[in-house]
Amino acid sequence: MIDLKIENLVQGGRGVGRTEGKAVFVPYTLPGEMIRCQVTRDKKKYSEAELVEVLEPSPQRQVPVCPVFTECGGCQWQHLSYPQQLTWKNQLFRESMFRAMSLDESLFEPIVASPGALNYRCRAQIKCRKTVDGFVAGFYRSGTHFVVDIDQCPLLAPDLNRLLARIKPLFARYQFAHRVPQLDLSVDDGARLSLTVHFMDDDHSSLKVLLAPVAEELHCSMYVRKSRKKGLMALFPGARQKIKPLADDAMELQYPPAGFVQVNLDQNRTLVADVLEQIPAGTKVMDLYCGIGNFSLPISRIASTVVGVEDYAPAIESARANCRDLGVENAEFVVADASYGLQSQWGEGFDLVLLDPPRAGAFDVVKQLGVLKPRKIVYVSCDPMTLSRDVQYLLANGYRAVLFRAYDMVE
């Protein structure tokens, strides 16, 4: 057990202090605080610790809205007011870029605040366990597979909290609850609900009986999944869920059950609109990691041609269906790994390449772009570290940075 003065914050919102010259990282702490902590991992150059007690709190500390904050691993910032969260997130994003590259301050625009800091999540993966004390459903404690039980989450859309409150008691008395490791909840822009039950058995008959009243009452489409390879089976199929990628626009995009869309739909609309501003009219665009066409289809309105590449076939099926529904004729969607798709679809070339990769980034793709040399690259990243790595490569291979802007997705 050590007492520590927190000096700064690092990525992920962890506080950092020093003892005997070694950095100690402690979640849920703030600069200026004196805290007591317990070291959980001791390395040669740094240690990780868990907070035991705040001895001298920062004036910026606030009471979290969630009763299981610090227990549940879903949030890192609720002990800080939202304006202060934005200040630190903006600073940390800039620092991650500056550490790796010599960049001019003028390249960085202010962080874009989320339209809402609570009740913004349109989907969630609820982890489940059948224990001696009953059925537990919630989120993993940080760094573990221990499920922290919740009845509701302040980040979830109200419709998802209502769905969780309705189904959790059913599973609590379900004889096969021990075969349910996860529940995927989703709500779209039209308040259409979807539930996917991960169920480790081939006989779904009892599950269908259990959930039938909720499916009818909440007009909720329901699916069951034994494994990712086996895909989904419909218990109670319903209308496909849809998102609106642009505010004040009639465009809607359908997506597959349990498919990927940004969890913060309002902020996604802001992001899509800002990306459109970076697309010159009449250009030929390749959208890598395109998903259901979240960027591709709005872009199709101003580009001459759009080719979207995505390795998840159900997402491409939805993208193609969206094309048909919207009457889009200048967009094509291809099922392929991004690296292979870039090579196979390049042909006579593209004016602009849009990247929206997962957290691992797109280094293999970026290396190809350094050779193919599209005139412009727009990179949407969910991880500053891999973004920094990939941008460094591009800058070393003839590109120049034009603009950086962070978008807060909260959590």
Which residues are designated catalytic? Answer: 382
Nearest to 151 by CA among 176, 126, 122, 114: 126
CA distance linking residue 119 with residue 159, whole number of Å: 9
